[in-house]
Structures are given as structure tokens and as C-alpha cells.
Amino acid sequence: MNLPLSWDYLIPLTALTLVTAVGYYLIESGLISIAVGLSQRSSILMTWRMQFGWMALFYVTLCLIGLFMAIAIYDLKGVAGILIFALPVVLMHYVQRQYIERTRAGAREVERMNKELTQANRSILEASLQIEQLNDELFVTLAKIIDARDPQVLDHAAKVAEYSTLIAHNLKLPAGRIDKVRQAALLHDIGKIGISEQILKKPGSLSGLEYENVKAHAALGSDFLRASHGLRHLADFVRYHHERWDGAGYPDRLRGEQIPLEARIIAISDAVESMATKRPYHHAMDLAEIVEELARCAGSQFDPAIAEVFVRILRRDGEGIIGRHAN
């Protein structure tokens, strides 16, 4: 059927154009989808939907534009026809160039912003690491200040922190919780700041009243930490590090799992460090004596599960751990 290019036959021409556009679209997109699907061993229909499904309107629109331009050129011959044909092409070319240039400029701006963001993130990370290092150094320094008040416990807090961290690792606690155990261990005796130096430095045995005074350091240390927004999460671990598994400890006579796990870890680390160090009231125990004492006190003074873990650690690496610290 031959139809002249005229506005009088616009409806049948439009119908033929639509059929032609859809057919061309289906054939071209279908063949490409088949090739892609076979090469990538993927679903041909899924490939067509994802890659070409959205292009149907694009094909139809271009074909209709072509039809209208053909009719215009056919009806308006000469210069008018050329102008009508050329003007849309020129305008499309101009708009496309503007779009590409704006897109490139936008891409360059995004790239610049990404570089600045990367640099800012790097700077933030470096600052965060420096703050973390500073915080760690402050904990260690504060622990040394606390220990310095009592010449009988040189580097006591650092040793307790090392033992506690080792136990926490073997218990497979999360990294953040291990950090809290270490920090609390470094500060577990902070309450001794409020205890008289005369009592702390007394060479002989303490009287009953003096011992009660010393025992107050656990609750006092907890109160100190609760006064700090950044340290209050450690307060309970410090308060309860002298509680016993059997409930005979202080200050609140908690028992078993009523005592926070972190406090139970610090309690056994504190006791082992004391066993391994010569004090006015006892000699420095050797590794075998410490292991025997841990086994004896498991289930009474110490959490039996933690005692078992620490005994296993000491039997494996005890000479390197205790021997390095023994006084």
C-alpha cells in the first residue's frame, strides 16, 4: 500500500510508523539480548528487560519525529523544507553538546568533592588514632600515678591490665569489651587516691579499722569514675573487683554472675599479680604455687570458668607471663 507523505494521511501513516518502530525495536533489541545472554550464560529475557526494556518509547518517539519531519519536507519543498529538516537536527545537536558539557562538569565536580572527602576522612582517621593513643597514654599515666602512692605495688595496675587483657582474649570477648576490661584494670585501684598514705605505706599488718578503710577504695573508685561522663561505663567493674564468687567479698557481697564479667576478670588478675609479688605480708609465689592457689580458690573466691582459663594460660605460657613480672 502506497500512501503519499501528506498531512491528509497522518493517521494511517502514524499507524504504519508505530508498527515499523515496534518491529525494528523488537528485532534489534532481541538480537542483541540473545547475543549477550548466550555469551554471559544468563537469562535472555532478563537481559532484555534490564538493558532494553526502557528503550521502546525512545524508538517510537524518534520514528514519529522522523515521520513528521518527512511530511514537512515533502509538503514544503525548497528552502523552507531544508530549514524545517535542519533546524531540529541543529537544535538536538546543540542541546546534546550542552548536556554532555554539563555532565562532564558535574562529573569533574563530583570527582573533586570525592577527593576532598577522601582527604577529610583520612585526616579524621589520623586525628581519631591520635586521640585514641592519647587516651591510652592517659590511662597508663594515671595508673602509674595511682601506683606511685604505694611503693609496695610498683606497676601493679599495668600487670593487672596485661593479665586481664590476656584472659579477655582467651574468652573471645569482642574487641570493644576487651578495651573496657583493660581500661578498668588500669584504674581498678583509683579509689586509693582517697586512702591515707600512712595506711598505704604502713610496713606491718593493718588493724581491723585500717583494713576497713582500705576496703573502701573499691566503692570510692567507682564514685570517682561515675563523676566522669567518659569513664562512668567502667565504674561497676572497679566497684566490684573485690567481690567473690561465693558472695563473701566487698563492698556489696554480690555472688556468682551477679558480679559483672569484667570485674570477675580483674579480680583474678589482681589476685595473681599480688601472689606473684613480694609483699610485707607474704612472699612471692612461684608459678606452681599460683596455679595451685587458683585451682583451690576456683568456685569460692574466683569464677571457676575464668580460673580454668587462666590456669590453662599459665600452664602454657606462665614462665613468660609471671616470670617477667615477679619481684
pTM of the shown model: 0.62
Residues paired with residue 298 on neighbouring β-strands, in sequence order: 302
pLDDT per position as a tens digit, 98-116: 657 777 777 788 788 888 8
Burial (CB < 10 A; 0-12, 13-18, 19+), residue 305, is middle
Domains along the chain with CATH numbers: 7-106 (no CATH), 149-325 (1.10.3210.10)
Q: How far is CA 147 from CA 195, 236, 239, 282, 284, in A?
A: 12, 21, 18, 19, 18
Distances (CA, A) of 314 to 139, 245, 307: 26, 21, 10
Cell of 67: 515521520
Residues belonging to the active site: 192
**Under a CB-based contact definition with an 8 Å cutoff, are residues 254 and 219 in contact?**
no
Amino acid at 196: S
- pLDDT tens for each residue of 264-284: 999 999 999 989 887 666 678
Interval 230-276: pLDDT, tens: 889 999 999 999 999 999 999 999 999 999 999 999 999 999 998 98
Contact partners, residue 219, CB within 8 Å, separation at least 6: 191, 239, 251
Greater pLDDT, 190 or 129: 190
Residue whose entry in the numeric block shows the C-alpha cell 515521520: 67
* Reduced 3-state DSSP string for 245-267: CCCCCCCCCCCHHHCCHHHHHHH
